[in-house]
Amino acid sequence: MQRQMCWLSSSTGDGEKILHLQTAPNQPWRPYTACRQYAVPDYQIPGGSKGWATYQKLLKAGWTLVHSARANEFASNYSESIVQNQ
């Protein structure tokens, strides 16, 4: 199973990027906080990246980092397929 991670904008719309995970090729991207089995607590650094500690852990475990443009393309295609199947 190929596990991937990327930095995507948070749902708050403030422009901040947080780590998102994809545990299987046809699964949606989910914020790292929604994947408790993989996430570790964030470093207590003011202004630090949300998910940086989890990123480091998963990178060492063999996860692949994906460019955010590629992840966004997948997210758009995934959303369109859901709408078409309803």
* pLDDT tens per residue across span 25-60: 888 999 999 999 999 999 999 888 899 999 999 999
Is the pLDDT at 86 greater than 90? The verdict is: no
For 63-86, letters b (16+ CB in 10 Å) and e give: beebebeebeebbeeeeeeeeeee
Q: Check residue 15 and give its pLDDT.
A: 76
pTM for this structure? 0.78
Structure letter (DSSP) for residue 33: G
Helix (H, G, I), strand (E, B) or coil at 80: helix
**Stated length of the chain:** 86
HSE-up of 29 (CA within 13 Å, CB side)?
Answer: 26
CA distance 74 to 16: 20
What's the mean pLDDT when you consider all of the chain? Answer: 84
Host domain of residue 25: 4-84
Q: Check residue 73 and give its pLDDT.
A: 73
Q: How many domains does the chain have?
A: 1
Q: Check residue 72 and give its pLDDT.
A: 73
Q: Check residue 77 and give its pLDDT.
A: 55
